[in-house]
Structure 1
Amino acid sequence: MSTASAVSVPSQCPERKEMRKALRRLEKHIKVLEPVHQFEIGSGSAEIDQIRYLPMVLNESSKDRPAFFTPLDRSCLLTPDNQYDQEYEVEYLAHESISEDGRDPKTCTQAIDIYWDKYISHYREGDKPLGSEVSPIYQEKVLWRHNFPEFGLYDIQQVKDGPYAHLKATIYNNLNADDGHLLQGEMLLILRLMLAHLKRGRFVEHMVVLVMVLSLVGPQHARVIEAYSEGHTLVVRPSKLYDLRTKDPATLKTLAQWFLGKPRAPTKTS
């Protein structure tokens, strides 16, 4: 009688263990900084010594383009103009269309996400390049905070197969934001997504863990943040904030290009 041998999972190297420990320490440190809800970008204060900020521009021809992702060709995307809205029977809920007593940041980010989710589902070439495989690990309660200031996830996507540890998510924070600061909720979600991803046996030989998030914030704005580990340092690259208090077809199309784009290169090392 023969028995099937179990598939062996490689052990992680000491350097990877230390990287995970460093990210966990940073996450715990940021978590207990309440009531500090935002961080000055590049301030160099003791709270962010382990974080290095770099600029990012959503332009493939720029030297500051995203480091780990390529944009989808604009021709693959519909233009979310008035004709699109009529054809697909959708409506963008602008900031002024929301009742004044209901214009909290979360409600306004939901207005973006409802339209956004419908829009990216109409990607002309079919299935999204990153697929939609979501592991149960991403249902961890730590990815949502329901007390003030609330934050959480709207969507997660990852590469289904191959040597790619690339992860993307749409996140929200129930706070207003500005270009000079990152929110505590943004940082905690990025770190917790990274730590959850590092637990997966599929990536045990990967020394680079990275996340790109579409961050929806108040009053009704969005930005893209690319973050990745370099040893014990977390590199964070935020784009500018895009004002979506009124529908901006060009901006929505640009954001979709990067959200639906493919990995630039594998992350698995030799």
Structure 2
Amino acid sequence: MSAPLECPKRKEMRKALRSLENHIKALEPDHQIEIGSAEIDQIRFLPMVLDESSEDRPAFFTLLDGTYLPTPNDQYDQEHEEEYLPHDSISEECRDPRTCAQAIDIYWSKYLSHYSVIDQPPGGEIVWSSIPLFRSSVYKEKVLWRHNYPEFGLYDIQQVTEGPYAHLKATIYNNLNADDGHLLQGEMLLILRLMLAHMRRSRYIDHMVVPVMVFSLMGPQHARVIEAYPEGHTIVVRPTKLYDLRTKDEATLKLFAQWYFGEPRAPTGTSQ
């Protein structure tokens, strides 16, 4: 059976997204894009909160019922021999943003893995699976990691295992401090490059929407969640506020995990 053909409208959309990627790549590496501004007319900013009952909830993703996840409290840490590394415990000479982001991920990734390896109860099944980046022909290390300052890259990337769902989730990092009023160049480049790579796969050739949710870690040990999706020749970008994780915030870590494991809200295409 021959591979399905891509429609002209989708080709034009990918061309526009590549043009946007090139524009952002040409900015200074430490450039920060003002949220809500018309600085880049191909980006449309909308608000987002991690509250399923809010009108500003994620548009393409749901959250896992919190009763399925343990609370990462002191008892949890003792049972699993885990320890969260607070900002003040990192020596001053090592408190660069990348090290502080990594301190979050060390705890975060282990917390996620404990749920991933158990037998999920009915209703709490995981529909996501890791993409083997280094065996993939579309996800390229040279564009998903920048090793020169200010570095950025991926800690993990997840796709929906089966069905007509072009959704992606990823945990990313940037070696910069951030604030609520701006997005980092590395955040936007990673979102666009993941989206464009996913659109190249034949499985999603009939999907006009590729929704991406990233859990973005940066200095000074802060994090936020960003949902992004193409809308014609523009991209809609929906960042949450920054969450301060310089000390362990049990509620935030659990809330992030609920959205990390939550299912897609609806299909994005017709492929099976």
- Which whole-Å CA distance do the structure 2 matches of 1:35 and 1:203 have between them? 31
- Which whole-Å CA distance do the structure 2 matches of 1:114 and 1:73 have between them? 24
More moved, 117-126 vs 55-64: 117-126
- Which whole-Å CA distance do the structure 2 matches of 1:201 and 1:52 have between them? 28
Moved segments of 4+, more than 6 Å: none
User: When the two structures are aligned, how many residues end up with a matched partner?
Assistant: 262
Whether 2:93 is the aligned partner of 1:95: answer no
CA contact (8 A) 2:127 2:161 kept: no
1:209 positional shift: 1.2
Q: 1:218 matched to which residue of 2?
A: 219
Q: 2:108 matched to which residue of 1?
A: 116
Q: 1:3 matched to which residue of 2?
A: none
User: After superposition, what is the alpha-carbon deviation per residue over 1:43-91, rounded to whole angstroms, capped at 9, x for unaligned?
Assistant: 112xx10000000000000000000000000001010000010000010
Q: 1:53 matched to which residue of 2?
A: 45
TM-score by length of 2: 0.93
| Matched residue type, 1:205 | D
More moved, 124-133 vs 138-147: 124-133
Q: 1:28 matched to which residue of 2?
A: 22
Whether 2:181 is the aligned partner of 1:180: answer yes
1:125 positional shift: 4.7
Q: Where does the alignment leave 5 or more consecutive residues of structure 2 unmatched?
A: none
Larger Rg belongs to: 1
CA contact (8 A) 2:29 2:185 kept: no
CA contact (8 A) 1:42 1:53 kept: yes
1:269 positional shift: 5.2
- Which whole-Å CA distance do the structure 2 matches of 1:210 and 1:99 have between them? 38
Superposition pairs for residues 67-106 of structure 1, below 5 Å?
67-106=59-98
| Matched residue type, 1:130 | W
Q: 1:204 matched to which residue of 2?
A: 205
| Matched residue type, 1:33 | L
Equivalent of residue 63 in structure 1, options 40, 49, 55? 55
CA contact (8 A) 2:88 2:246 kept: yes
| Matched residue type, 1:76 | Y
Identity of aligned residues (%): 74
Q: 1:183 to 1:105 in 2, by over 3 A?
A: same
- Which whole-Å CA distance do the structure 2 matches of 1:139 and 1:27 have between them? 15
- Which whole-Å CA distance do the structure 2 matches of 1:255 and 1:263 have between them? 15
- Which whole-Å CA distance do the structure 1 matches of 2:98 and 2:29 have between them? 19
CA contact (8 A) 1:36 1:184 kept: yes
1:128 positional shift: 3.3
- Which whole-Å CA distance do the structure 1 matches of 2:91 and 2:146 have between them? 25
More moved, 8-17 vs 139-148: 139-148
CA RMSD of aligned residues (A): 1.3
Aligned-partner SS, 1:163 = coil
